[in-house]
């Protein structure tokens, strides 16, 4: 397919349809409304597909639960305050090992906050988010093209590991128009996963549940989930490095933050500073080993986020004292430009005597 110019929210919608998403359940919240609207326009009349504007984010995530029981690819999307409401459902999806895709085009908080882009939901996204001991895979796209590619990957990962997968975007990614090329055509026939819960045809009844009165059974579920999480950490961790080979200082940033940081890194290089960029694409599993590898050569890490320092903790854990991490962030929906980040890079660069 030739390149198309599309807004991020629409890109996710189109990519989801091409990934064989059969059911979409949404609820209006800015800055992700265009995604819900895209699905209303394109899924409602598609054969075998369902679009519902739910009565709440709580209902939407539970509709995803129901559709996933039936073995079809299902998705919901929201933004930060709505994501808080979905956490109960995500916990149940994780417990029942139901594949599902949840998009968060996040905004500034806490509370109702602003509708401007922020990355304040990093903790909520990467630490499970709801109650209980569980993880979700978290993908952090940073461009229109990546929104398309990672949306497709999200559905594949969800099915492969029977796990909820989060796409953590933000208001800028959702609204910004960029060229995009879709790698896949929409499937002619929608697939149903094996073992759907649609009626006990020729077999005993099957139960999908989370509740048990036996702590040993609950512990076994937790062990089994964590064995799978270990496998995911081993196989699915993804990151991007940019000009890190000879870098004296590496900026660590994700999503739209990394996009801003990349501009700053390019400008730093133009003025002769040996600066690189490290961008986690999967926020969970976090690319800790990759950072540990970089730390063999590079000592200084500037973590840049559109929050007050959340991924910073993962970077520090990954470094385990083998490098120095410092932080620069703008929370609340304020979006700095590359020159602001460049000033911070330069200050650290010269203070550390790197020149």
78 touches another protein (CB under 8 A): no
> CA of 293: how far to CAs of 37, 74, 183, 229, 263, in Å?
44, 37, 32, 22, 24
Q: How far is Cα 160 from Cα 179, in angstroms, rounded to an integer? A: 29
Instruction: For residue 190, count CB atoms less than 10 angstroms from its CB and return exposed for 0-12, middle for 13-18, buried for 19 or more.
Output: middle
- Contacting residue, 70, 85, 218, 292, with another protein by CB under 8 A: 70
Q: Which of 54, 123, 128, 113 is nearest to 79 (CA)?
A: 113
Residue whose CB is less far from another protein, 216 or 270: 216
Burial 112-135 (b: 16+ CB within 10 A, else e): ebbbbbbbbbbebbbebbbeeebb
- Contacting residue, 3, 44, 56, 343, with another protein by CB under 8 A: 56
Q: How far is the CB of 25 from another protein (least distance, A)?
A: 7
- With contacts defined by CB under 8 A, name the span among 86-94, 104-112, 217-225, 315-323 that binds another protein: 86-94
216 touches another protein (CB under 8 A): no
For another protein, what does the binding mask look like between residues 89 and 128, x meaning CB under 8 A?
x--x---x--------------------------------
- Contacting residue, 111, 204, 215, 353, with another protein by CB under 8 A: 204
88 touches another protein (CB under 8 A): yes
Residue whose CB is less far from another protein, 54 or 186: 54
- Asked if residue 345 lies in contact with residue 251, where contact means CB atoms within 8 angstroms, the answer is yes
Q: How far is Cα 58 from Cα 192, in angstroms, rounded to an integer? A: 25
Residue whose CB is less far from another protein, 92 or 254: 92
Q: How far is the CB of 162 from another protein (least distance, A)?
A: 15
292 touches another protein (CB under 8 A): no
- Contacting residue, 30, 50, 116, 239, with another protein by CB under 8 A: 50
206 touches another protein (CB under 8 A): yes
23 touches another protein (CB under 8 A): yes
Q: Find residue 328's DSSP bridge partners.
A: 304
Q: How far is Cα 312 from Cα 304, in angstroms, rounded to an integer? A: 8
Q: Which of 308, 299, 347, 355 is nearest to 327 (CA)?
A: 308
Q: Which of 72, 75, 46 is nearest to 188 (CA)?
A: 46
- With contacts defined by CB under 8 A, name the span among 142-150, 208-216, 251-259, 300-308 that binds another protein: 208-216
- Contacting residue, 58, 85, 243, 354, with another protein by CB under 8 A: 58
Residue whose CB is less far from another protein, 87 or 237: 87
Question: What is residue 245's DSSP assignment?
Answer: T
Q: How far is the CB of 192 from another protein (least distance, A)?
A: 8
67 touches another protein (CB under 8 A): yes
> CA of 151: how far to CAs of 100, 167, 184, 217, in Å?
12, 7, 11, 34
State both tokens at 219. Answer: 């512990």
Angle, helices 255-270/338-351, rounded to nearest 10 degrees: 60
3-state secondary structure of 341: helix
Q: What angle do CA 44, 49, 54 make, to 5 degrees?
A: 60
197 touches another protein (CB under 8 A): yes
Q: How far is the CB of 325 from another protein (least distance, A)?
A: 39
199 touches another protein (CB under 8 A): yes
85 touches another protein (CB under 8 A): no
- Contacting residue, 8, 13, 31, 71, with another protein by CB under 8 A: 71
Q: How far is the CB of 100 from another protein (least distance, A)?
A: 10
- Applying CB under 8 A, the residues found at the interface with another protein are 22-23, 25, 50, 52, 54-56, 58-60, 62-72, 74, 88-89, 92, 96, 196-202, 204-211
């Amino acid at each position: 397919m030739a390149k198309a110019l599309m807004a991020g929210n629409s890109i996710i919608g189109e990519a989801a349809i091409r990934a064989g998403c059969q059911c979409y359940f949404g609820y209006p919240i800015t800055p992700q409304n265009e995604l819900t609207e895209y699905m209303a326009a394109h899924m409602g009349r598609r054969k075998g597909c369902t679009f519902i504007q739910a009565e709440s984010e709580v209902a939407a995530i539970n509709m995803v639960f129901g559709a996933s029981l039936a073995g079809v690819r299902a998705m919901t999307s929201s933004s930060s305050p709505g994501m808080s409401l979905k956490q109960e459902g995500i916990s149940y999806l994780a417990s029942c090992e139901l594949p599902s895709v949840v998009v968060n085009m996040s905004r500034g908080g806490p509370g109702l906050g602003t509708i401007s882009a922020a990355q304040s939901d990093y903790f909520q996204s990467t630490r499970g988010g709801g109650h209980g001991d569980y993880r979700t895979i978290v993908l952090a796209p940073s461009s229109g093209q990546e929104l398309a590619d990672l949306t497709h990957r999200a559905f594949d990962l969800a099915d492969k590991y029977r796990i909820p997968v989060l796409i953590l975007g933000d208001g800028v990614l959702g609204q910004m128009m960029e060229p995009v090329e879709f790698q896949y055509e929409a499937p002619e026939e929608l697939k149903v996963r094996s073992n759907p819960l649609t009626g006990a045809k020729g077999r005993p009844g099957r139960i999908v549940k989370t509740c048990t009165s036996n702590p040993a059974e609950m512990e076994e579920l937790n062990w089994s989930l964590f064995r799978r999480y270990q496998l995911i950490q081993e196989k699915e961790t993804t990151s991007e490095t940019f000009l890190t080979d000879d870098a004296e200082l590496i900026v660590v940033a994700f999503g739209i933050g990394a996009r801003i940081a990349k501009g700053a890194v390019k400008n730093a290089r133009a003025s002769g500073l040996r600066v690189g960029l490290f961008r986690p694409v999967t926020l969970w599993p976090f690319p800790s080993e990759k950072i540990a590898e970089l730390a063999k050569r590079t000592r200084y890490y500037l973590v840049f986020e559109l929050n007050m320092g959340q991924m910073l903790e993962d970077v520090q854990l990954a470094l385990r004292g083998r490098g120095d991490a410092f932080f620069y962030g703008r929370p609340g929906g304020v979006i700095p430009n590359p020159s602001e980040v460049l000033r911070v890079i330069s200050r650290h660069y010269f203070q550390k005597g790197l020149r």
